[in-house]
């Protein structure tokens, strides 16, 4: 069973995309708002019935119902509003996530936890610390969402099929994220040999800023994060060993410790099974360090 805590737009989208991938028989939507998860579950089940997909989605306001969950996705908390940064949500969401992590520890102690709530990296760290789980069993979604945006900008700039593009974004899920053109290709051809440096820099900046634009235009990001969550879930359930960037706890990797931040990791049935350490050049290392410092600053303000 897969549990999604938080039944708003992103939680509902995550349930939808996960059901469409047919990686589980049952999805539980949990929320403190009476009626919301139940109504969302009904709506999704009606859609799945027409599609002939036998995944049962149910809603609840009772944390105890997540007993036996294999994966718990945490989307609970306040989302970004126009003009807000992800870090603006730190104080608002800290107490919420602490309570959620305590309930996961109580009722789903064998699960893998995928935090999604912003600010993503500090909330992934908080979830890891409060849950007491092994570090491979707690990793956040952030850079998988950033990656989807980076790929779209590469697609728009080159005109080549999205299916031909392989790209990578690491670091903080925020203004200090690190898109990596040097590790990005189109049909195996290095991106650096296809686009000018000015064009690549514009793509990088666009990737960092586009979430705020989406929020300004429609109020929230929904479909891309929902899909990113389901991509990670599928890698765990199917044990694909896919390398993807997730916010995981570092214990010496990349030269840093006691911080959760986005890095490439092998994702399989045991969660983030291995961190893949890249050889970063001086410019990349500088941006990665900015993200580390930003996340550590936020962590220093947490009460755990």
Find the angle CA(114)-CA(115)-CA(119) to the nearest 5 degrees.
155
| CA pair distance 25, 54, nearest whole angstrom | 7
Cβ-count burial 131-142 (b if 16+ within 10 Å, e if not): bebeebbbbbbb
Q: Which structure tokens are listed for 214?
A: 């989406």
**Residues forming the active site:** 173
Q: Give the separation between CA 84 and CA 186, rounded to whole angstroms.
A: 34
- 111-122 burial, b for 16+ CB within 10 Å, e for fewer? bbbbbbbbbbbb
State how far the alpha carbon of 140 is from the alpha carbons of 38, 150, 195, 223, 269, in Å: 26, 18, 31, 17, 16
* Cis preceding linkage at 187, omega within 30: no
Q: What is the 3-state secondary structure (H, E, C) of 165-187?
A: EECCEEECCCCCCEECHHHCEEC
């Amino acid at each position: 069973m897969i549990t999604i805590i938080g039944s708003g737009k992103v939680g509902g989208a995550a349930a939808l995309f996960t059901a469409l991938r047919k990686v589980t028989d049952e999805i539980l939507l949990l929320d403190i708002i009476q009626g919301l998860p139940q109504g969302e579950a009904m709506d999704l089940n009606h859609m799945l019935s027409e599609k002939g997909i036998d995944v049962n989605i149910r809603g609840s306001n009772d944390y105890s119902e997540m007993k036996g969950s294999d994966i718990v996705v945490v989307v609970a908390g306040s989302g970004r509003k126009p003009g807000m940064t992800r870090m603006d949500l730190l104080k608002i969401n800290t107490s919420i996530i602490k309570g959620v992590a305590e309930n996961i520890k109580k009722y789903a102690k064998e699960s893998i936890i995928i935090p999604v709530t912003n600010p993503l990296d500090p909330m992934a760290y908080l979830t890891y610390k409060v849950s007491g789980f092994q570090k491979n069993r707690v990793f956040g979604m952030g850079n998988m969402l950033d990656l989807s945006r980076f790929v779209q900008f590469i697609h728009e700039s080159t005109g080549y099929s999205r299916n031909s593009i392989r790209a990578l974004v690491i670091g903080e899920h925020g203004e200090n994220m690190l898109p990596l053109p040097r590790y990005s290709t189109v049909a195996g051809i290095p991106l650096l040999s296809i686009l000018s440096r000015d064009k690549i820099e514009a793509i990088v900046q666009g990737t960092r800023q586009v979430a705020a634009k989406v929020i300004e235009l429609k109020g929230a990001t929904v479909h891309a994060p929902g899909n990113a969550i389901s991509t990670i879930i599928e890698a765990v359930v199917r044990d694909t060993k896919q390398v993807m960037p997730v916010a995981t706890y570092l214990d010496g990797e990349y030269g840093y410790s006691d911080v959760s931040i986005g890095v490439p990791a092998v994702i399989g049935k045991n969660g983030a099974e291995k961190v893949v350490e890249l050889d970063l050049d001086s410019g990349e290392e500088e941006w990665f360090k900015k993200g580390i410092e930003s996340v550590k600053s936020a962590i220093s303000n947490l009460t755990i």
